[in-house]
Structure 1
Amino acid sequence: MPQAEHQPVLLDAALAGLGLRADGVYVDATFGRGGHSRGVLSHLGQNGRLIAFDQDPDAQAHAQPIVETDERFTFVRASFAELGERVAALGLAGRVDGVLFDLGVSSPQFDVAERGFSFRHAGPLDMRMNPDAGKPLSDWLHNASHGEIAAVIKRYGEEPMAGRIAAAILDARATGPIADTGRLAAIVASAIPARLAAGKRIHPATRTFQAFRMHINDEIGALERGLEAAFDVLAPAGRLAVISFHSLEDRRVKRFIRAQARPVPPPVPMAPVAAPALLEIGKPVRADAAELEANARARSAIMRVAERTDAPKVSS
């Protein structure tokens, strides 16, 4: 399959954040179209190793040429929520020198109408990262209550008009199934008062589509499980680097790192304070002016980096 045009976000910063060693073992938890993986491989020597994860069959197709030509590279078609058990099955638990997450949906996924991620390309209302598992969004919308729909839009889209949008969806559903992205986008737009939509940079359906995608794929739950798994597979001095694209993800990442970066109070008075299990490395990183000019997708990206110590995990 030809390589799709795709610019990995914060590539140089991510490679620097991982502190790559030529003989190290690394995990790319979100292969996508392989930009970050190729960057990591370019810094590894003959004894280095990279394991990449992605549940998307298109990502697997883009990974296959690397699998066939580079014995240092292993691709696992699975969600990063399964990272811990899959890395353990490879005999590498506790031996990984760096794990990288690039969260969200890659640009090429938005451009494929059949996946149903974007209201800009008419297509079936699917939105599953793994089209071989679970049910498409159209099925969920056909049965969900007003309260369920509104709660998802409010929680994952932070959309103030969540109740109005949910009501509009139920009204439209009464006339026939909502099965394509164009119809859903029009329904959402119709629920937003014109005075609120006027002059906005984003389409009125942007936050609602984001919310539905995150719900259908359990993105926040998968992220929380993936972060825990990444921690468990890291070796002492191994690095965790996470690129997020909106506040819901970044808050989870920040909370996880800071919970593990706090010194542990002693179990008895006067005992020494235990060292933290993670060390925050530097400040959160954003794209510089040059990258923003070359890649608009980098505008909302933020990367946090932490380093594993040899201290035990803090119970959550």
Structure 2
Amino acid sequence: MTVRLTQYAHGGGCACKIPPGELESIVKGLVRPGGDGLLIGLEDGDDAAAVRIDRDRAVVATADFFTPVVDDAYTWGRIAATNALSDVYAVGGEPLLAVNLLGWPRDVLPMELVTEVLRGGLDAADAAGCHVAGGHSVDDPEPKYGMAVTGLADPERLLRIGTGRPGSPLSLTKPLGIGVLNTRHKATGEVFPQAVAVMTTLNRDASRAALAAGATCATDVTGFGLLGHLYKLARASGVTAVVDVAAVPYVDGAREAVRDGHVSGGTRRNLAWAEPHLDAGGMDEETLLLLADAQTSGGLLVAGEVPGAPVIGELVAADGPALLLR
């Protein structure tokens, strides 16, 4: 029996996130003073939390899960775990321990598929040198999978979303276009190995390279798209971000997917949220949708040069809109 997992979910991957504007309204007013030990909290929307435990170590914690982004159970498990691990790398940490988060329609989908999902997650964690021990599961109308991950970091060498400075180049460590290819996969069943390869690549090497280069500011590019995550970084850092649109890399087939109408509702919501803060420079809608494309297990966006990663723009002193496309 062939089961197309994407047909059992209303959305897919990070495109099923609550829209950024709605999410910010939900958490507004929930920020609490964390004391000297809380190094990264809720204030700016960083990718993970960090708490100092002694002079040389900080604990990093995050959780991430989503509905199927591909039809193959094992591959979905790998992607979901890679995506969850990314939040630790995005703040400059190294993952140490993960627990599984699973929702499964037990009377609808075969339970043997659960084993494949968990096996994929375990293999991704193994590749990261991260232990997996237990977790939690619920009977759910939609399949959902991810991980809660705990890691360690140097408290003096964290990557934060609000420490960008004028004059810093912007590096992007993975190409865009994952979202539109996943949307096409959900609609047609076509398989895109190039997209799977991007989604299952750990951000470990990119994080280490960013730290080695002296970067202090980064975020990962996931469900809010490049424009959404870059707006959050520019806002938190009090700068304007200028994007050299011609320098932005895309996964093969992404432009064709947009032209054929394979654009998720999450991507359109991302663009609507970013537009009030955006000088689009006359860019066409296709380009804007790709820049807002809801990524799953995307790359790191780093304020600084990262060896091997394209520079797609720079941060400048705040002047008018937070985002400028050129």
Larger strand fraction of residues: 2
TM-score greater than 0.5 by the shorter chain: no
Which structure shows the higher helix fraction?
1
Given the two structures, how large is their TM-score scaled by the length of structure 1? 0.25
Higher relative contact order by CA 8 Å / sep ≥ 6: 1 or 2?
2
